[in-house]
Amino acid sequence: MSLSPVCEFVDRNARQLHIRVHLRGSDEGPQNRFQLRFRPRWGAPPVVVETVVGVRVDSVGRRSRSALDFTVRSEELAAGAYQLELARVGDRTWIPVGTSPGLLAGARRVPWGERQLQVLPGARRSQVWLRISSWTPPAQLGWRIRDWTRELAFAAHGRRFTWVRPLRVLTRPLVPRGQIWLIGERPETARDNGFALFAHLRRHRPGAPVYYVIAKDSSMAGEVARLGHVVWHSSLRHRILMLHAHVLANAYSIKHMLPSRWRPGAYMNQFAWRVGARRVYLKHGVHLSPDAVKRASSGYDLVVTVGPQETEALAATSGYSSAQLCQTGLARYDNLVRAGHSRTVLFMPTWRRYLVPRLFGGEDAALVPYAGSAYQEFVHGLLDSDDLAAVLERHDLRLAVVPHYNLTGLLRPEHLASERISLLDGASADIPGLLRSCAMLLTDYSSVQFDVAYLGAPVLYAQFDREEYAAGHGGTSWFDTGTDGFGPTETTVAGVVARLEHYAGNGFVREHRYDERVERVFTHEDHSNCARIVQAIDSLP
């Protein structure tokens, strides 16, 4: 069987490099051994290291023996450029190791002991090169010369983004001095961890070149503009600042910050390593399914987490380690202060990836039609329930329904059982305000459960499609609602309505056993998460 090796990441400490290679499409025997060869560009003898194949978990939880973890000592690699090649032990057929998007997205020049190190792609094809150099003035000049000669090679082979370096030189006088930070969420939103961090920075570093990227026609643009330092998404200014950004921080994906007509794949593989911005994943909630997070596809320098359980789960399968995972808490939690007690129950079911087309391009159709799905039957059935309408009327309650952003166009029931039920726009609703003021949260698996639990309000789980969700969307989770959850779980409309009436009758008081579970999840509850995130970003090399 032919091999298709791809480098997922390269980590370093002062004494050695750790290199992860994925044997794409393979499932090897438990004792199979492989060699990684560092082949110098010029004449010197190659360096060869060896390892046994290990287990890799993919984004939907499937396990295969396809992970290779190699270690090489710093003294074994002299200054120079090395191509990475792989072979089975006993087979002298050396195969170039390819690049992953995450590897190249984070492949800036970094210090390695007293030397400098950078991972680079080949000009002719997807192949990994390591460049190592001292950092004396002559070495720095040589490095810059090689940067430009490499660009000529890329241009000769028709690669994208070869204009980045010359345009950086030409536009340098047009941008502010200092380290430029670009922060955002989705192009049209400013209500999550991105905006919370930006507002903190505008208060505490008002003179710093920190900008929020948002669409000019967004309904939330005015709120950002009041703080100043707003950049309109896809404007000329946005494009120029992307060339000089020191930090890119987003609550969803850096891809949401790309100007229009910039292809995400080409950006990851050809643009990011030329600029070298630190990539920060602020997240939009606690990750319940860590298998879906892969360093090889995202390439973040910093991923924020809320506590030890989430951190350990991500470290186990994502490729991220303690060097990237940081228990700062989420930025928006600094603003989580209970806004009185309302009579509104908040219903926020999460989405299902198999019910919508693939994000950022790819498939045009959903794997499972929304019409007739278990999701549609439960949600629409609940909202059309006469029993629910009676409970809302009896206890003077309102039910605010917020569809997930990715399902806004689908979750449109033809009939609501009561005028006390309101269907809000998931793209424009004041979700932070709803979370702070709701009497109770009803959800299936949404990570907003952590916000409401943090505030002290009760949570009720409606998990009507457990097996289908786990197989098609959720994957393996470190968080089990039966043992870790912040409230009871129901699977039917009747069960949900009965639980809702129970909580309405006791004044929406959360049981003590759920208070104890909340305390186990969060490392910090001091409203200083933004300050910790900024400190962690400042500490990135």
Give the count of beta carbons closer than 10 Å to the beta carbon of residue 286.
Answer: 21
Q: Which neighbouring-strand residues pair with 80?
A: 132
Instruction: Give me the CATH number covering residue 284.
Output: 3.40.50.11820
Tokens 């579970």 correspond to what residue?
517
Same domain, 82 and 184: no
Same domain, 129 and 211: no
Looking at residue 105, what is its pLDDT? 96
Q: Which two tokens stand for residue 233?
A: 């998404």
Residue 111 φ then ψ, to 5°: -70, 140
Residue 144 forms part of a structural domain: no
Give the count of beta carbons closer than 10 Å to the beta carbon of residue 144.
Answer: 11
pLDDT above 80 (res 341): no
pLDDT tens sequence across 235-247: 999 999 999 999 9
pLDDT tens sequence across 454-499: 999 999 999 998 878 877 666 678 999 999 999 999 999 999 999 9
Report CA torsion sign: 433, 439, 440, 442. Answer: negative
Read off the amino acid at residue 505: G
Residue 310 forms part of a structural domain: yes
Same domain, 357 and 501: yes
Instruction: Give me the CATH number covering residue 450.
Output: 3.40.50.12580
Residue of 439, 287, 399, 293 whose CA lies nearest to 350:
287
Mention every residue, 6+ apart, whose C-beta is less than 8 A from residue 292.
Answer: 59, 60, 475
Mean pLDDT of the region 402-417? 84
Q: Give the Cα separation of 242 and 168 in Å (integer).
A: 10
E strands, 42-166, in order: 47-52, 54-57, 63-73, 80-88, 95-96, 98-99, 110-112, 115-121, 128-133
Determine what percent of the chain is predicted with pLDDT higher than 90. 82
Which pLDDT band holds residue 518 (cuts at 50, 70, 90)?
Answer: very high
Residue 429 forms part of a structural domain: yes
Same domain, 182 and 127: no
Residue 436 forms part of a structural domain: yes
Q: Give the Cα separation of 242 and 248 in Å (integer).
A: 9
Same domain, 313 and 417: no
pLDDT above 80 (res 149): yes
Residue of 184, 179, 206, 208 whose CA lies nearest to 197:
184
Number of domains observed in the structure of the chain? 3
The chain-wide mean pLDDT, for the chain, equals 93
Residue 165 forms part of a structural domain: no
Mention every residue, 6+ apart, whose C-beta is less than 8 A from residue 41.
Answer: 80, 81, 82, 83
Determine what percent of the chain is predicted with pLDDT higher than 70. 97
Instruction: Give me the CATH number covering residue 40.
Output: 2.60.40
Same domain, 274 and 356: no
pLDDT above 80 (res 415): yes
Mean pLDDT of the region 188-192? 94
E strands, 223-324, in order: 230-232, 245-250, 278-281, 302-304
pLDDT above 80 (res 325): yes
pLDDT tens sequence across 229-272: 999 999 999 999 999 999 999 999 999 999 999 999 999 999 99
Buried b (16+ CB within 10 A) or exposed e, 273-282: bbbebbbbbb
pLDDT above 90 (res 426): no
Same domain, 310 and 225: yes
What does the DSSP 8-state code read for residue 231? E
Which pLDDT band holds residue 359 (cuts at 50, 70, 90)?
Answer: low
Same domain, 9 and 130: yes
Domain of 44? 5-103+115-134
Q: Give the Cα separation of 228 and 177 in Å (integer).
A: 17
**Stronger pLDDT, 475 or 439, i.e. the higher one:** 439
Give the range among 51-65, 276-290, 397-411 with minimum mean pLDDT.
397-411
Q: Give the Cα separation of 130 and 74 in Å (integer).
A: 13
**Stronger pLDDT, 480 or 427, i.e. the higher one:** 480
pLDDT above 70 (res 62): yes
pLDDT tens sequence across 82-101: 999 999 999 989 999 999 99
**Stronger pLDDT, 203 or 361, i.e. the higher one:** 203
Q: Which two tokens stand for residue 250?
A: 């987003």
Report CA torsion sign: 300, 302, 306, 308. Answer: positive
Same domain, 193 and 296: yes
Same domain, 226 and 269: yes
Which pLDDT band holds residue 339 (cuts at 50, 70, 90)?
Answer: confident
Element (H, E) at 150: helix 137-156
Residue 14 forms part of a structural domain: yes
Give the count of beta carbons closer than 10 Å to the beta carbon of residue 440.
Answer: 22
Looking at residue 365, what is its pLDDT? 57
pLDDT above 70 (res 361): no
pLDDT tens sequence across 498-516: 999 999 999 999 999 999 9
Residue 60 forms part of a structural domain: yes
Q: Which neighbouring-strand residues pair with 65?
A: 55
Same domain, 301 and 416: no
Residue 465 forms part of a structural domain: yes
Q: Give the Cα separation of 367 and 371 in Å (integer).
A: 12
Same domain, 236 and 266: yes
pTM: 0.89
Looking at residue 506, what is its pLDDT? 94
pLDDT above 60 (res 5): yes
